[in-house]
Amino acid sequence: MGLRGARDQIVTPLRVLSIGIILSIVLAAVAFISLSMGPAKVSMGTILGWCAGMGSVDQTTSMILANIRLPRILLAGLVGFTLSLGGVVFQALLRNPLAEPFILGISSGAAIGAIAGIVLGLGFSVGVPLLSFISALATILLVLGISSRHGGLESSTLLLTGVIVNAFFTAVIMFFIATASDSRLHSMLFWLYGDLSQSKYIQFSLCLPLVLIVSGVIYLFSRHLNLIVGGEEPALQMGVEVELVKWVAFIGISLITGVVVAFSGIIGFVGLIVPHLMRMMLGPDHRLLIPASALGGAVFLVAADTVARMIISPSELPVGVITAFLGAPFFIYLLKRKGSQWNQD
């Protein structure tokens, strides 16, 4: 592992901790700013008072803060956290810089379920998320099943299978959209572009424990991921149970991605941009990269969703439009200036 720059080489627990704390502070700051932004003007002072449980806030304002903005910020943070974590893990496991949490067909699988739910007229609180989650998991099992024909999971076969399954499901989605009645079309398109406008606490609290458990397990594997990135053969020789790590990570990430996508719709680019950004800034060691990417993803999506809420206020854009619109040029700028550090491994 030929790492450049002395700063990147040493990953001490202290460094992980300090960067974790810095990013958490940034996240809190972004969340606070986001809380103060919206069509209804609420001053920072009012929000500080409200957070501390002091000061008089009128009922409408407190309802807007507590029941609209806060659950949305929380869910946005959790979704960003999950997608970015998925990105960093998949990029390592598949040893491919283009990998992101949707690459194995989770997005299109979830979309099929969601659209089927919308066509059937199911509600957005239970029916649609449940169907989308089930079909996301079924898709991932299908892809893993196809690719593991010879006992092991081979990365290139897995990638190819994911791409093909995605293509097939995209055709099915296009069919649904082409034949949809007008009234359902909007719901479908907004789901496909990612939408956090109807976030509720219950969604956050359903996702949170699952995301925490899976990310904890993944973090235990971070040293193994470092070795797998260097090649599966060498990793095997160094005693890494490559197959086990792969299965656990694929299933775990798919599970949490499926859950958050069911509530948020498909939000692209987060899982691609944030891990690369963090890799450029902090180096390729997964012991640091995993927590940094996850927290960075939360910051990025909370910020992007705030822009989505504000840019054509009082109307709103789907957040997926913002992540791609802001993310892609920024990413290209960084890539041009610093170059991808991917090939240095």
Partner 1 sequence: MKEARFRCHVARSLLLLLLIALLCCPLQVRASTFRDSLGRKVVLSAAPERIVSLAPSITEMIYFLGLDDRLVGVTRFSYFPEQAKEKARVGTYTDINLEKVVTLDPDLVIATADGNRKEDVEMLEEAGIPVYVVNPRRVGQILETIEAVGDICGIAHRARERVGSLRERVARVEEAVQGRSKPLVFLVINVKPLMSVNHSTTHHDIIELAGGRNLAQDQLVTYPRLSLEEVIRRRPEVIIISSMEKGGEHERARREWFRWTTIPAVQKERVHVISSDLIDRAAPRIVEGLEEMAKLIHPEIPWD
| Contact positions vs partner 1 (CB under 8 A) | 38-40, 59-60, 63-64, 67-69, 121-125, 181, 183, 186-187, 190, 195, 197-198, 309, 313-316, 318
Residue 120 C-beta: closest distance to partner 1, Å: 10
Residue whose CB is less far from partner 1, 24 or 197: 197
Closer residue to partner 1, CB minimum distance, 72 or 276: 72
Residues 6+ apart with CB under 8 A from 257: 82, 83, 86, 101, 102, 106, 136
DSSP 67: I
Joined together, the tokens standing for residue 283 give: 């180096």
Closest distance of CB 52 from partner 1, Å: 22
The nearest distance, CB 309 to partner 1, in angstroms, is: 6
- For residue 262, the minimal CB distance to partner 1 (Å) is 14
Quick one: which of 333, 326, 205 has its CA closest to 267?
Answer: 326
Closer by beta carbon to partner 1, 108 or else 306? 306
Per the CB < 8 A criterion, the answer to whether 265 and 193 are in contact is: yes
Q: Which is nearer to partner 1, 256 or 303 (CB)?
A: 303
Q: How far apart are CA 254 and CA 249, in angstroms?
A: 8
**Structural contact between residues 265 and 320, judged by C-beta atoms closer than 8 angstroms:** yes
State which residue, 64 or 144, has the beta carbon closest to partner 1: 64
Task: Quote the least distance from Cβ 126 to partner 1, whole Å.
Answer: 10
- CB 334 within 8 Å of CB 280: yes
Alpha carbons 201 and 197: distance in angstroms, whole number: 13
Tell me the two tokens of residue 101. 């949490």
